[in-house]
Amino acid sequence: MHRIAVLASGRGSNLAALIAACSDGRIAARVVGVFSDKPASGAIALANESGVAAWAQKPSGFASREAFDAAMFDAVEAVQPDLIVCAGYMRIIGHAAIARFPQRMINIHPSLLPRHPGLNTHARALEAGDAEHGASVHIVIPELDAGPVLAQARVTVQAGDTADALAARVLAFEHPLLMATVAAIAHGDLRLDTATPQWQGKPLSAPLQLAGAQLLEASP
């Protein structure tokens, strides 16, 4: 059974979905640790309520970004994760920390990467006149939001959309997208421990697409 470590900075909605999916058997894995730069975050409160090991420190208590990363990822390494899921973790992770877990760290990002890396993605999609927007799960590499894209969920941009309205529609797909991706990794359909990601034994040539509530299907 896969061991999952979760990095989170916010209220923990993706973490809650992961814990529930592991508990009810939709994902053949368990969450073995939650790690945060926000000790008062909802994610840490949820970890404590759920009996999941938690580590949270303020970066301001460390001499440098590198020192904070080293301490946090020492704690991550101690729970021996097979997969690290960045679920609303709002700090850039340094090169040295990423190098400790090659091909084992994924992130969910609210845009159709490679479009709109970074922040304020919904407003930027509207400003760009995009016809489609959505969310992506990708492998974490040192460059921001630039790792191989594993899976995406798409939403149509509607006339009169605001950034908040678009964000709400994308959020409705983020949880099932992340659950489906983690389930596929835990089941072995999606493999990251190869030169390029593989889907059902073949190199992944394009991001997988969310179909229905949980299933992933290859892009046409």
List the catalytic residues: 109
C-alpha separations of 140 from 7, 84, 93, 111, 160 in Å: 12, 10, 9, 15, 34
Q: What is the DSSP string of the chain?
A: -EEEEEE--SS-HHHHHHHHHHHTTSSSEEEEEEEES-TTSHHHHHHHHHT--EEE--GGGSSSHHHHHHHHHHHHHHT--SEEEESS--SPPPHHHHHHSTT-EEEEESS-TTSS-SS-HHHHHHHTT-SEEEEEEEE--SSTT-SPEEEEEEEEPPTT--HHHHHHHHHHHHHHHHHHHHHHHHHTSEE-SSSS-EETTEE--S-EEEETTTEEE---
Distance CA(97)–CA(99), nearest Å, equals 5
